[in-house]
Amino acid sequence: MELIYKGAEAELYLDEFLGLKVVIKRRVAKGYRHPSLDLSIRVSRTRKEARLIRRARLGGVPVPAILDVWKDSLMLEYIEGEKLATRLDEKTMRKFGHIVCRLHDSGISHNDLTPYNAVVSP
């Protein structure tokens, strides 16, 4: 596994599963929380994220497929492409706006929506 992103809440790893590129998103433990509380929070947030990704897909939002869910980790389909931040032209941003609209129509509000958290695929 290759670490491809390290954030305050999670680490993303590029891996391979059955010959496919996948991303493993692992929520990181917080040393300042009691271990059992920390695990409970990470498990709860991981399950909630999985439910929201499924709901988004059902709403027609192009999000990665969930391949597996563990206590504090998700295995997600790897999406080839570049960060939206590198493609801020009007056509791409309009398309992205329509996607965000579908997300909101699905009853989902993204808590960290930035051009660095979205991938434009070919």
List the helix and strand counts (H, then E) for the chain. Answer: 2, 7
Of the residues 15, 89, 105, 112, which is catalytic? 112
Residue 83's Cβ-side half-sphere holds a number of Cα atoms within 13 Å equal to: 7
d(CA 85, CA 98): 17
Let me know if 105 is a catalytic residue.
no
Q: Phi/psi class of residue 100: alpha, beta or left (left: φ > 0; alpha: ψ in -120 to 50)?
A: alpha
**Lookup result for tokens 């499924």:** 54
Catalytic residue list: 112
